[in-house]
Amino acid sequence: MTVYEKICEMICDAKDVEPATLTPDTTLPELALDSLDYVELMVLAKREYQVTLTADAFIQHPTMTLRELSALIAAEQERQHGG
């Protein structure tokens, strides 16, 4: 399962959203995520990919898309763990 697919799965479970409604270009604000959802995304990144995301990552990019979030996690995984 890709990073994108794992994120989508978590969002679908948390927000009761149909997977077909999500695209890589869906923005986080479009999903009406609350603070707990953002914490869950950070926990998911840590648990699944051993990547530490901070709230600043979301604050600095308020219109982040699912594609951008997936790329951020992959880049952080590469940076923090060398692959």
Q: How many domains does the chain have?
A: 1
CATH number at residue 67: 1.10.1200.10
Report CA 16 to chain centroid distance, whole Å: 16
Q: What pTM was estimated for this model as a whole?
A: 0.89
The backbone torsions φ and ψ at residue 65, rounded to the nearest 5 degrees and listed phi first, read -90, 165
Q: What is the pLDDT of residue 63?
A: 95
- Alpha-carbon distance of 58 to 81, in angstroms, equals 21
Quick one: average pLDDT of 4-18? 93
What is the domain extent for residue 55?
A: 3-81
Q: What is the pLDDT of residue 82?
A: 78
